[in-house]
Amino acid sequence: MKRLFCVLSAMIIVLPFLCTAKAEAVNFPLKSNMSIMSESAVLVNLDTKTIIHQKNADRKQMPGPLVNIMTAVVCIENFPDLSKEITIDESVFDYLYNIEYPDDLRFAEILDGDVLTMTDLLYAMMLTSSVEAAETIAYKVGDGSTAKFVDMMNEKAAELGLNDTHFTNATGMYDPNQYTTANDMATLSMYALSVPYFENISTTYSYTPSVPNLKSHPNQATEWVWTHSNIMMEPDGDYTYNGAKGIKTANLELAGRNIVTMASRDGNKYLAVLMKSPLNDADGETTFYHITDAKSLFNWAFNHFSYQVILADTAEVGELPVELAEGNDYVLARPKEEFTLLWYDDIDISTISRDKVVWYKNTLKAPVAKGEPLGKVTLEYSGEELGTVEIVAVNNVERSTSKYNIYAAKMFRKSTWFNKALLVSFLLCAIYILICIYSYIVFKSKAKPMKPIYAVPKMNDKKKRRRPPQNKDE
Protein backbone atom coordinates (compact mmCIF):
# COMPACT_ATOMS: atom_id res chain seq x y z
CA MET A 1 0.00 0.00 0.00
CA LYS A 2 2.85 2.32 0.83
CA ARG A 3 4.49 1.63 -2.52
CA LEU A 4 1.24 2.33 -4.34
CA PHE A 5 0.90 5.63 -2.50
CA CYS A 6 4.45 6.63 -3.47
CA VAL A 7 3.82 5.78 -7.13
CA LEU A 8 0.55 7.72 -7.20
CA SER A 9 2.19 10.71 -5.53
CA ALA A 10 5.01 10.70 -8.07
CA MET A 11 2.51 10.50 -10.94
CA ILE A 12 0.58 13.50 -9.58
CA ILE A 13 3.78 15.52 -9.29
CA VAL A 14 5.14 14.51 -12.69
CA LEU A 15 1.92 14.57 -14.73
CA PRO A 16 1.99 18.32 -15.49
CA PHE A 17 5.57 17.99 -16.67
CA LEU A 18 4.80 15.11 -19.03
CA CYS A 19 2.59 17.43 -21.03
CA THR A 20 5.49 19.82 -21.62
CA ALA A 21 8.53 17.59 -21.58
CA LYS A 22 9.71 18.65 -25.01
CA ALA A 23 11.21 22.14 -25.08
CA GLU A 24 10.36 24.68 -27.75
CA ALA A 25 13.38 25.74 -29.79
CA VAL A 26 14.53 29.16 -31.00
CA ASN A 27 18.16 28.87 -32.06
CA PHE A 28 19.70 32.29 -31.45
CA PRO A 29 23.20 32.97 -32.87
CA LEU A 30 26.08 33.30 -30.41
CA LYS A 31 28.24 36.39 -30.17
CA SER A 32 30.85 36.59 -32.92
CA ASN A 33 33.68 36.24 -30.39
CA MET A 34 32.20 33.06 -28.88
CA SER A 35 33.06 29.50 -29.85
CA ILE A 36 31.85 26.21 -28.40
CA MET A 37 34.47 23.48 -28.38
CA SER A 38 32.04 20.68 -27.52
CA GLU A 39 30.74 18.85 -30.57
CA SER A 40 27.11 18.96 -29.38
CA ALA A 41 25.42 21.56 -27.20
CA VAL A 42 22.00 22.61 -25.96
CA LEU A 43 21.07 25.56 -23.75
CA VAL A 44 17.55 25.59 -22.29
CA ASN A 45 15.74 28.23 -20.27
CA LEU A 46 14.09 26.12 -17.58
CA ASP A 47 11.51 28.78 -16.71
CA THR A 48 9.96 28.75 -20.17
CA LYS A 49 11.20 25.33 -21.36
CA THR A 50 12.71 27.08 -24.39
CA ILE A 51 15.90 26.01 -26.16
CA ILE A 52 17.70 29.25 -27.00
CA HIS A 53 20.79 27.72 -28.60
CA GLN A 54 21.79 24.35 -29.95
CA LYS A 55 24.68 22.86 -31.87
CA ASN A 56 24.53 19.41 -33.47
CA ALA A 57 21.84 18.69 -30.92
CA ASP A 58 20.52 15.60 -32.71
CA ARG A 59 23.89 14.02 -33.42
CA LYS A 60 24.29 10.66 -31.65
CA GLN A 61 26.96 10.68 -28.96
CA MET A 62 28.21 8.28 -26.26
CA PRO A 63 26.76 9.47 -22.96
CA GLY A 64 29.22 7.91 -20.52
CA PRO A 65 28.05 8.32 -16.90
CA LEU A 66 25.34 10.74 -18.03
CA VAL A 67 23.28 7.55 -18.14
CA ASN A 68 23.26 7.76 -14.33
CA ILE A 69 20.50 10.35 -14.72
CA MET A 70 18.24 7.67 -16.14
CA THR A 71 19.52 5.15 -13.59
CA ALA A 72 18.45 7.51 -10.80
CA VAL A 73 15.04 8.18 -12.37
CA VAL A 74 14.22 4.48 -12.76
CA CYS A 75 15.41 3.77 -9.22
CA ILE A 76 13.41 6.57 -7.56
CA GLU A 77 10.25 5.68 -9.46
CA ASN A 78 10.43 1.94 -8.85
CA PHE A 79 12.09 1.35 -5.48
CA PRO A 80 9.47 1.57 -2.70
CA ASP A 81 11.69 2.65 0.20
CA LEU A 82 14.81 4.70 -0.51
CA SER A 83 15.76 4.59 3.17
CA LYS A 84 16.10 0.80 3.11
CA GLU A 85 19.57 -0.42 4.10
CA ILE A 86 21.42 -2.55 1.56
CA THR A 87 24.47 -4.72 2.21
CA ILE A 88 26.98 -4.32 -0.59
CA ASP A 89 27.85 -7.49 -2.52
CA GLU A 90 31.09 -6.91 -4.42
CA SER A 91 30.38 -9.79 -6.80
CA VAL A 92 27.74 -7.59 -8.46
CA PHE A 93 30.39 -5.21 -9.83
CA ASP A 94 33.77 -6.90 -9.50
CA TYR A 95 33.80 -7.67 -13.25
CA LEU A 96 34.34 -3.93 -13.80
CA TYR A 97 37.86 -4.16 -12.36
CA ASN A 98 39.10 -5.73 -15.61
CA ILE A 99 37.30 -3.82 -18.36
CA GLU A 100 39.01 -2.52 -21.51
CA TYR A 101 39.06 1.15 -20.51
CA PRO A 102 39.55 1.24 -16.72
CA ASP A 103 40.21 5.00 -16.66
CA ASP A 104 36.60 5.56 -17.73
CA LEU A 105 35.26 4.21 -14.42
CA ARG A 106 34.95 5.99 -11.10
CA PHE A 107 34.92 4.25 -7.71
CA ALA A 108 33.68 5.62 -4.41
CA GLU A 109 35.52 3.15 -2.13
CA ILE A 110 32.33 1.21 -1.50
CA LEU A 111 33.51 -2.14 -0.22
CA ASP A 112 32.07 -5.61 0.11
CA GLY A 113 29.92 -5.80 3.25
CA ASP A 114 29.35 -2.04 3.57
CA VAL A 115 25.81 -1.12 4.55
CA LEU A 116 24.25 1.83 2.74
CA THR A 117 20.73 3.05 2.13
CA MET A 118 19.42 3.33 -1.41
CA THR A 119 19.56 7.11 -0.95
CA ASP A 120 23.27 6.83 -0.05
CA LEU A 121 23.86 4.88 -3.25
CA LEU A 122 22.06 7.51 -5.32
CA TYR A 123 24.29 10.23 -3.85
CA ALA A 124 27.42 8.19 -4.54
CA MET A 125 26.38 7.62 -8.13
CA MET A 126 25.25 11.15 -8.96
CA LEU A 127 28.13 12.95 -7.23
CA THR A 128 31.05 10.69 -8.10
CA SER A 129 29.79 8.43 -10.94
CA SER A 130 30.39 5.47 -8.62
CA VAL A 131 30.15 2.26 -10.62
CA GLU A 132 29.73 0.25 -7.40
CA ALA A 133 26.64 2.29 -6.59
CA ALA A 134 25.21 2.21 -10.14
CA GLU A 135 25.56 -1.57 -10.49
CA THR A 136 24.13 -2.20 -7.02
CA ILE A 137 21.15 0.02 -7.77
CA ALA A 138 20.53 -1.79 -11.08
CA TYR A 139 20.86 -5.20 -9.42
CA LYS A 140 18.46 -4.39 -6.56
CA VAL A 141 15.81 -2.52 -8.57
CA GLY A 142 16.02 -5.15 -11.32
CA ASP A 143 15.23 -7.91 -8.80
CA GLY A 144 18.64 -9.47 -9.16
CA SER A 145 19.04 -8.77 -12.88
CA THR A 146 20.93 -5.75 -14.22
CA ALA A 147 19.72 -6.71 -17.72
CA LYS A 148 16.13 -6.31 -16.54
CA PHE A 149 17.02 -2.89 -15.14
CA VAL A 150 18.50 -1.81 -18.48
CA ASP A 151 15.23 -2.86 -20.13
CA MET A 152 13.43 -0.60 -17.67
CA MET A 153 15.74 2.26 -18.66
CA ASN A 154 14.94 1.81 -22.35
CA GLU A 155 11.22 1.55 -21.63
CA LYS A 156 11.39 4.85 -19.77
CA ALA A 157 13.32 6.41 -22.65
CA ALA A 158 10.58 5.34 -25.07
CA GLU A 159 7.93 6.74 -22.71
CA LEU A 160 9.67 10.13 -22.69
CA GLY A 161 10.06 10.16 -26.48
CA LEU A 162 13.85 9.81 -26.47
CA ASN A 163 13.88 8.34 -29.95
CA ASP A 164 17.64 8.72 -30.47
CA THR A 165 18.67 7.12 -27.18
CA HIS A 166 19.57 3.53 -26.33
CA PHE A 167 21.00 2.17 -23.08
CA THR A 168 23.07 -0.98 -22.59
CA ASN A 169 24.28 -0.49 -19.00
CA ALA A 170 23.51 1.56 -15.89
CA THR A 171 27.08 2.72 -15.18
CA GLY A 172 27.94 4.58 -18.39
CA MET A 173 30.94 2.43 -19.26
CA TYR A 174 31.94 2.38 -22.92
CA ASP A 175 29.67 0.49 -25.29
CA PRO A 176 29.29 1.43 -28.98
CA ASN A 177 25.61 0.47 -28.79
CA GLN A 178 24.91 2.94 -25.98
CA TYR A 179 24.12 6.37 -27.38
CA THR A 180 22.02 9.49 -26.97
CA THR A 181 21.84 13.09 -28.21
CA ALA A 182 22.13 16.47 -26.55
CA ASN A 183 18.44 17.10 -27.22
CA ASP A 184 17.39 13.77 -25.70
CA MET A 185 19.63 14.35 -22.70
CA ALA A 186 18.09 17.80 -22.17
CA THR A 187 14.60 16.28 -22.29
CA LEU A 188 15.59 13.53 -19.85
CA SER A 189 17.22 16.03 -17.48
CA MET A 190 14.18 18.30 -17.42
CA TYR A 191 12.00 15.31 -16.64
CA ALA A 192 14.40 14.10 -13.95
CA LEU A 193 14.30 17.50 -12.23
CA SER A 194 10.55 16.96 -11.73
CA VAL A 195 11.05 13.56 -10.06
CA PRO A 196 11.00 13.68 -6.24
CA TYR A 197 14.44 13.85 -4.57
CA PHE A 198 16.38 13.95 -7.84
CA GLU A 199 17.23 17.66 -7.89
CA ASN A 200 18.28 17.69 -4.24
CA ILE A 201 20.53 14.65 -4.75
CA SER A 202 22.08 15.73 -8.06
CA THR A 203 22.86 19.30 -6.94
CA THR A 204 24.40 18.53 -3.53
CA TYR A 205 28.07 19.49 -3.36
CA SER A 206 29.24 16.97 -0.74
CA TYR A 207 27.68 14.07 1.13
CA THR A 208 28.63 11.63 3.88
CA PRO A 209 26.87 8.23 4.00
CA SER A 210 24.11 8.12 6.58
CA VAL A 211 24.94 4.63 7.89
CA PRO A 212 28.20 4.31 9.91
CA ASN A 213 30.60 1.76 8.45
CA LEU A 214 33.41 2.27 10.94
CA LYS A 215 34.88 -1.19 10.50
CA SER A 216 35.83 -0.62 6.86
CA HIS A 217 35.90 3.20 7.08
CA PRO A 218 37.16 4.16 10.56
CA ASN A 219 37.44 7.85 9.65
CA GLN A 220 34.16 7.96 7.76
CA ALA A 221 33.10 11.43 8.93
CA THR A 222 36.22 13.08 7.55
CA GLU A 223 37.57 10.76 4.86
CA TRP A 224 34.57 8.95 3.37
CA VAL A 225 32.93 12.07 1.97
CA TRP A 226 31.65 12.20 -1.60
CA THR A 227 32.11 15.47 -3.50
CA HIS A 228 30.36 16.44 -6.71
CA SER A 229 32.51 16.02 -9.80
CA ASN A 230 31.25 19.29 -11.30
CA ILE A 231 34.15 21.63 -10.50
CA MET A 232 31.94 24.64 -11.26
CA MET A 233 30.41 24.03 -7.80
CA GLU A 234 33.69 24.34 -5.91
CA PRO A 235 33.60 27.14 -3.31
CA ASP A 236 36.80 28.67 -4.63
CA GLY A 237 38.50 27.28 -7.70
CA ASP A 238 39.68 28.13 -11.18
CA TYR A 239 36.42 26.93 -12.72
CA THR A 240 33.98 28.05 -10.02
CA TYR A 241 30.78 29.58 -11.38
CA ASN A 242 28.41 31.46 -9.12
CA GLY A 243 24.95 29.88 -9.22
CA ALA A 244 26.02 26.60 -10.85
CA LYS A 245 24.43 23.35 -9.63
CA GLY A 246 25.09 19.67 -10.48
CA ILE A 247 23.85 17.74 -12.36
CA LYS A 248 26.18 15.17 -13.92
CA THR A 249 29.59 14.97 -15.51
CA ALA A 250 30.97 12.17 -17.66
CA ASN A 251 34.31 11.25 -19.20
CA LEU A 252 35.03 8.58 -21.80
CA GLU A 253 38.42 7.99 -23.34
CA LEU A 254 36.86 7.46 -26.77
CA ALA A 255 34.15 10.10 -26.53
CA GLY A 256 35.59 13.04 -24.60
CA ARG A 257 33.93 14.93 -21.77
CA ASN A 258 30.21 15.49 -21.23
CA ILE A 259 28.30 17.58 -18.73
CA VAL A 260 24.70 18.36 -17.80
CA THR A 261 24.53 21.30 -15.44
CA MET A 262 22.30 24.23 -14.56
CA ALA A 263 22.75 27.72 -13.21
CA SER A 264 20.42 30.39 -11.85
CA ARG A 265 20.79 34.13 -11.47
CA ASP A 266 18.36 37.03 -10.99
CA GLY A 267 15.36 34.70 -11.11
CA ASN A 268 16.41 33.03 -14.37
CA LYS A 269 17.42 29.38 -14.60
CA TYR A 270 19.23 27.63 -17.44
CA LEU A 271 20.19 24.05 -18.24
CA ALA A 272 23.28 23.32 -20.36
CA VAL A 273 24.14 20.04 -22.06
CA LEU A 274 27.64 19.73 -23.58
CA MET A 275 28.78 16.52 -25.25
CA LYS A 276 32.01 15.25 -26.77
CA SER A 277 34.32 17.96 -25.57
CA PRO A 278 38.04 17.21 -26.23
CA LEU A 279 39.98 15.70 -23.34
CA ASN A 280 43.15 17.61 -24.29
CA ASP A 281 44.07 20.82 -26.03
CA ALA A 282 46.18 21.16 -29.18
CA ASP A 283 49.36 20.76 -27.10
CA GLY A 284 48.14 17.54 -25.50
CA GLU A 285 47.49 19.20 -22.14
CA THR A 286 44.48 18.14 -20.09
CA THR A 287 41.68 20.63 -20.55
CA PHE A 288 38.08 21.12 -19.49
CA TYR A 289 36.42 22.64 -22.52
CA HIS A 290 33.04 21.30 -21.41
CA ILE A 291 33.27 23.51 -18.31
CA THR A 292 34.42 26.62 -20.17
CA ASP A 293 31.67 26.01 -22.76
CA ALA A 294 29.04 25.82 -20.02
CA LYS A 295 30.31 29.01 -18.37
CA SER A 296 30.35 30.85 -21.71
CA LEU A 297 26.78 29.80 -22.52
CA PHE A 298 25.52 30.78 -19.07
CA ASN A 299 27.23 34.20 -19.24
CA TRP A 300 25.81 34.79 -22.70
CA ALA A 301 22.31 33.92 -21.54
CA PHE A 302 22.38 35.91 -18.30
CA ASN A 303 23.88 39.01 -19.95
CA HIS A 304 21.89 39.12 -23.18
CA PHE A 305 18.44 37.67 -22.54
CA SER A 306 15.49 39.31 -20.84
CA TYR A 307 11.72 39.13 -20.96
CA GLN A 308 10.36 41.51 -23.57
CA VAL A 309 6.91 42.36 -24.85
CA ILE A 310 6.87 40.79 -28.29
CA LEU A 311 3.27 41.73 -29.10
CA ALA A 312 1.38 44.32 -27.04
CA ASP A 313 -2.32 43.85 -26.38
CA THR A 314 -2.89 47.26 -28.00
CA ALA A 315 -1.17 46.39 -31.29
CA GLU A 316 -3.40 46.35 -34.38
CA VAL A 317 -2.88 43.03 -36.12
CA GLY A 318 -5.32 43.42 -38.99
CA GLU A 319 -8.89 44.23 -39.96
CA LEU A 320 -11.88 42.21 -41.05
CA PRO A 321 -14.79 43.40 -43.27
CA VAL A 322 -18.17 43.71 -41.55
CA GLU A 323 -21.45 43.62 -43.49
CA LEU A 324 -24.59 45.57 -42.48
CA ALA A 325 -22.49 47.88 -40.30
CA GLU A 326 -23.56 51.32 -39.14
CA GLY A 327 -20.65 53.54 -40.16
CA ASN A 328 -17.31 51.81 -40.81
CA ASP A 329 -17.72 48.49 -42.64
CA TYR A 330 -14.73 46.84 -40.92
CA VAL A 331 -13.45 45.98 -37.46
CA LEU A 332 -9.85 46.19 -36.22
CA ALA A 333 -8.24 43.21 -34.49
CA ARG A 334 -5.79 43.19 -31.58
CA PRO A 335 -4.24 40.48 -29.37
CA LYS A 336 -6.47 39.19 -26.61
CA GLU A 337 -3.55 39.47 -24.22
CA GLU A 338 0.02 40.68 -24.19
CA PHE A 339 2.61 38.22 -25.50
CA THR A 340 5.88 38.29 -23.55
CA LEU A 341 8.90 36.17 -24.38
CA LEU A 342 12.49 35.66 -23.29
CA TRP A 343 14.37 37.48 -26.04
CA TYR A 344 17.92 38.12 -27.20
CA ASP A 345 18.79 41.80 -26.90
CA ASP A 346 20.95 41.76 -30.05
CA ILE A 347 17.90 41.02 -32.21
CA ASP A 348 15.33 43.74 -32.83
CA ILE A 349 11.82 42.48 -32.07
CA SER A 350 10.63 44.23 -35.24
CA THR A 351 12.22 41.34 -37.17
CA ILE A 352 9.60 39.01 -35.71
CA SER A 353 6.97 38.19 -38.31
CA ARG A 354 3.30 38.49 -37.37
CA ASP A 355 1.90 38.17 -40.88
CA LYS A 356 0.56 34.66 -40.36
CA VAL A 357 -3.04 35.46 -39.40
CA VAL A 358 -5.83 32.90 -39.55
CA TRP A 359 -9.36 34.32 -39.32
CA TYR A 360 -12.21 32.26 -37.92
CA LYS A 361 -14.45 33.81 -40.61
CA ASN A 362 -13.57 35.69 -43.79
CA THR A 363 -16.30 38.30 -43.20
CA LEU A 364 -18.55 39.25 -40.31
CA LYS A 365 -22.10 40.53 -40.07
CA ALA A 366 -22.96 43.28 -37.63
CA PRO A 367 -23.37 43.51 -34.74
CA VAL A 368 -19.85 42.71 -33.54
CA ALA A 369 -19.02 42.94 -29.83
CA LYS A 370 -15.78 44.37 -28.48
CA GLY A 371 -13.47 41.49 -27.46
CA GLU A 372 -15.20 39.00 -29.75
CA PRO A 373 -12.68 36.34 -30.93
CA LEU A 374 -11.80 36.86 -34.59
CA GLY A 375 -8.83 34.57 -35.23
CA LYS A 376 -5.23 33.80 -34.33
CA VAL A 377 -1.84 35.28 -35.20
CA THR A 378 1.33 33.18 -35.21
CA LEU A 379 4.62 34.89 -34.40
CA GLU A 380 7.72 33.60 -36.19
CA TYR A 381 11.42 34.35 -36.24
CA SER A 382 13.67 32.95 -38.98
CA GLY A 383 11.05 30.35 -39.81
CA GLU A 384 10.77 29.16 -36.20
CA GLU A 385 7.42 29.53 -34.44
CA LEU A 386 7.52 31.58 -31.25
CA GLY A 387 3.90 31.26 -30.25
CA THR A 388 0.27 31.80 -31.23
CA VAL A 389 -1.98 34.53 -29.83
CA GLU A 390 -5.76 34.84 -30.18
CA ILE A 391 -6.94 38.14 -31.66
CA VAL A 392 -10.20 39.89 -30.82
CA ALA A 393 -12.32 42.86 -31.97
CA VAL A 394 -11.03 46.25 -30.85
CA ASN A 395 -14.48 47.86 -30.61
CA ASN A 396 -18.23 47.32 -31.01
CA VAL A 397 -19.73 47.52 -34.50
CA GLU A 398 -23.45 48.30 -34.49
CA ARG A 399 -25.91 47.01 -37.09
CA SER A 400 -27.60 49.41 -39.54
CA THR A 401 -31.38 48.96 -39.44
CA SER A 402 -31.92 50.10 -43.04
CA LYS A 403 -29.14 47.90 -44.39
CA TYR A 404 -30.48 44.98 -42.44
CA ASN A 405 -34.04 45.42 -43.73
CA ILE A 406 -32.84 45.56 -47.32
CA TYR A 407 -30.67 42.53 -46.70
CA ALA A 408 -33.57 40.65 -45.09
CA ALA A 409 -35.82 41.44 -48.07
CA LYS A 410 -33.20 40.19 -50.51
CA MET A 411 -32.57 37.12 -48.50
CA PHE A 412 -36.26 36.31 -47.96
CA ARG A 413 -36.49 34.13 -51.07
CA LYS A 414 -33.27 32.39 -50.09
CA SER A 415 -34.46 31.82 -46.58
CA THR A 416 -34.44 28.22 -45.45
CA TRP A 417 -37.81 28.66 -43.75
CA PHE A 418 -39.24 30.25 -46.87
CA ASN A 419 -38.08 27.33 -48.98
CA LYS A 420 -39.46 24.89 -46.45
CA ALA A 421 -42.82 26.72 -46.38
CA LEU A 422 -42.89 26.72 -50.17
CA LEU A 423 -42.22 23.01 -50.24
CA VAL A 424 -44.91 22.33 -47.65
CA SER A 425 -47.41 24.44 -49.60
CA PHE A 426 -46.61 22.56 -52.78
CA LEU A 427 -47.09 19.25 -51.03
CA LEU A 428 -50.40 20.38 -49.53
CA CYS A 429 -51.64 21.57 -52.91
CA ALA A 430 -50.61 18.29 -54.50
CA ILE A 431 -52.40 16.38 -51.78
CA TYR A 432 -55.50 18.57 -52.22
CA ILE A 433 -55.57 17.96 -55.97
CA LEU A 434 -55.15 14.24 -55.46
CA ILE A 435 -58.01 14.24 -52.97
CA CYS A 436 -60.25 16.12 -55.44
CA ILE A 437 -59.45 13.68 -58.22
CA TYR A 438 -60.07 10.77 -55.95
CA SER A 439 -63.40 12.21 -54.77
CA TYR A 440 -64.55 12.81 -58.35
CA ILE A 441 -63.72 9.25 -59.34
CA VAL A 442 -65.58 7.87 -56.33
CA PHE A 443 -68.63 10.08 -57.03
CA LYS A 444 -68.80 9.02 -60.68
CA SER A 445 -68.59 5.37 -59.76
CA LYS A 446 -71.57 5.68 -57.37
CA ALA A 447 -73.81 7.72 -59.73
CA LYS A 448 -74.72 4.77 -62.15
CA PRO A 449 -77.83 5.18 -64.55
CA MET A 450 -81.06 3.22 -63.56
CA LYS A 451 -82.53 0.49 -65.81
CA PRO A 452 -85.43 1.64 -68.13
CA ILE A 453 -87.94 -0.70 -66.48
CA TYR A 454 -87.52 1.28 -63.38
CA ALA A 455 -87.50 4.61 -65.10
CA VAL A 456 -91.40 4.86 -65.38
CA PRO A 457 -93.53 4.00 -62.38
CA LYS A 458 -95.49 0.71 -62.73
CA MET A 459 -99.29 1.16 -63.16
CA ASN A 460 -102.13 -0.99 -61.80
CA ASP A 461 -103.76 -3.23 -64.47
CA LYS A 462 -107.15 -2.20 -63.25
CA LYS A 463 -106.30 1.38 -63.93
CA LYS A 464 -105.28 0.45 -67.46
CA ARG A 465 -108.74 -1.09 -68.31
CA ARG A 466 -110.71 2.08 -68.27
CA ARG A 467 -114.35 2.09 -69.37
CA PRO A 468 -115.18 3.85 -72.68
CA PRO A 469 -116.99 7.16 -72.32
CA GLN A 470 -120.84 6.80 -72.38
CA ASN A 471 -123.28 8.81 -74.43
CA LYS A 472 -125.22 11.21 -72.33
CA ASP A 473 -128.44 10.34 -74.11
CA GLU A 474 -128.26 6.84 -73.06
| Average predicted confidence (pLDDT) for the chain | 89
CATH number at residue 325: 2.60.410.10
Mean pLDDT of 446-469: 56
Domain ends where: 368, 399, 430?
A: 399
Q: Is the pLDDT of residue 473 over 80?
A: no
pLDDT of 16 reads 40
| Proportion of the chain above pLDDT 90, given as a percent | 75
Residue-number span of the structural domain to which 352 is assigned: 312-399
Give a yes or no: residue 121 inside a domain.
yes
Give a yes or no: residue 122 inside a domain.
yes
pLDDT digits (tens, 9 = 90+) for 302-337: 999 999 999 999 999 999 999 999 988 999 999 999
d(Cα 100, Cα 91) in Å, to the nearest integer?
19
Taking CA atoms, 111 is separated from 88, 136, 229, in Å, by 7, 12, 21
pLDDT digits (tens, 9 = 90+) for 274-313: 999 999 999 999 999 999 999 999 999 999 999 999 999 9
Better-predicted residue by pLDDT, 416 or 154: 154
Q: Are residues 204 and 295 in the same domain?
A: yes
Give a yes or no: residue 467 inside a domain.
no
pLDDT digits (tens, 9 = 90+) for 181-219: 999 999 999 999 999 999 999 999 999 999 999 999 999
Bridging pattern class, strands 50-55 and 24-25:
parallel
Highest mean pLDDT among 29-33, 202-206, 463-467: 202-206
Domain ends where: 273, 301, 329?
A: 301
Give a yes or no: residue 44 inside a domain.
yes
Confidence band, pLDDT 50/70/90 cuts, at residue 407: confident
Q: Are residues 254 and 278 in the same domain?
A: yes
Residues 247, 202 contacting (CB under 8 angstroms):
yes
Q: Are residues 47 and 196 in the same domain?
A: yes
d(Cα 244, Cα 288) in Å, to the nearest integer?
16
Give a yes or no: residue 473 inside a domain.
no
Residue type present at position 52:
I
Q: Is the pLDDT of residue 456 over 60?
A: no
Confidence band, pLDDT 50/70/90 cuts, at residue 22: low
Domain ends where: 373, 399, 425?
A: 399
Q: Are residues 321 and 297 in the same domain?
A: no
The DSSP call for residue 181 is -
Give a yes or no: residue 199 inside a domain.
yes
Give a yes or no: residue 105 inside a domain.
yes
Alpha helices in 142-257 (DSSP H): 146-159, 182-192, 198-202, 220-223
Give a yes or no: residue 464 inside a domain.
no
d(Cα 297, Cα 377) in Å, to the nearest integer?
32
463 is in an annotated binding site: no
